[in-house]
A and B are shown apart, each in its own frame.
Chain A
Amino acid sequence: GAGVSQSPRYKVAKRGQDVALRCDPISGHVSLFWYQQALGQGPEFLTYFQNEAQLDKSGLPSDRFFAERPEGSVSTLKIQRTQQEDSAVYLCASSLTGNTEAFFGQGTRLTVV
C-alpha cells in the first residue's frame, strides 16, 4: 500500500472488553512502532519491532497490553480488560530501518465506556 494502514479507525469498547488493533506497515519496512496519544498530548512510545522481533516494549503501560508481529509484516496491539484510562488514539508507524524516517498511520481512536 501507499502508506501505513490501521484498522479499525474507531473502536468503542465496554470496560473489561478485550480489543485488537491492526497495523499494516509500508511494504518492505523492517521497523514498526506503536505509540499511544491521549487527548491533547503528544504520542508516547509503547513498543518497537524489527521484523518479527520485539526489541523494546518498555512503554507498554501494563501487562494488559500485548503486541505481536509474527511474520514481520502486519502487527496487532491487543489490550485485555480495557479500562477508561486506555481511551486514546493508538498510532502505528513504520520505517525502512529503525534509523530512517518513520511514517505514521492515521491511528485507531479507542473509546472505553
Chain B
Amino acid sequence: QKEVEQDPGPLSVPEGAIVSLNCTYSNSAFQYFMWYRQYSRKGPELLMYTYSSGNKEDGRFTAQVDKSSKYISLFIRDSQPSDSATYLCAMGMNTGFQKLVFGTGTRLLVSP
C-alpha cells in the first residue's frame, strides 16, 4: 500500500463546475500538505500548502486537511479550461519541503 493514495482519473467536468480532488494518506507523521499543478511536459507548480488541519483559501482554490481522517482535498470553484492539468497532492514531514511524498496525480479535463 502506498503512503499517499490518489485517484488517477481522468476527471471530466464542464466549464464553471466545482471540482473536488482528494488524497488519503497512511503516515501520521506527515505535517505539511501541498497541492501541485502539472501541465503536460512541464514541472509541477505549487498551488497551495497547509500545515494544519482546516481550510485554506486562495482565490478559486480551497485546500482542506482532516488529519483525524488522514484525508486532504482541493476544491476548484468556477473551473476554467485552463485548469485542465494533472493535480498532484504531496506531503512532507516536519522538515517541510524536504523529501516530499507525492500521490500519483489526478488528471482534470475542463471542457468549454
Contacts and interface: CB of A to CB of B under 8 A. Distances in A.
B100 A45 contact: yes
Contacts of B4: 42
Nearest to B32: A99
Given A40-B8, A42-B103, A45-B101, A100 B96 contact: yes
A98 B95 CA distance: 7
B98 A48 contact: yes
Given A42-B6, A104-B43, A104-B44, A56 B98 contact: yes
A56 to B, nearest CB: 6
Category for how many chain B residues contact A: 20 to 34
A56 B99 contact: yes
Contacts of B17: none
A93 B45 CA distance: 10
Nearest to A44: B102
Contacts of B53: none
B104 interface: yes
Contact of B44 (A43, A45, A109): A43
Contacts of A95: 97
Given A95-B97, A98-B96, A98-B97, A42 B42 contact: no
Contact of A101 (B49, B95, B98, B103): B49
Interface in B66-99: 88, 90, 95-99
Given A31-B98, A42-B6, A42-B88, A91 B44 contact: yes
Given A48-B98, A98-B97, A98-B98, A106 B43 contact: yes
Given A42-B88, A101-B97, 8 more contacts: A43-B88, A43-B102, A56-B98, A56-B99, A58-B99, A98-B98, A106-B43, A107-B42
11 contacts: A31-B98, A33-B98, A42-B88, A42-B105, A43-B44, A45-B99, A95-B97, A99-B98, A101-B46, A101-B97, A103-B46
Interface of B: 4, 6, 8, 36, 41-46, 49, 88, 90, 95-105
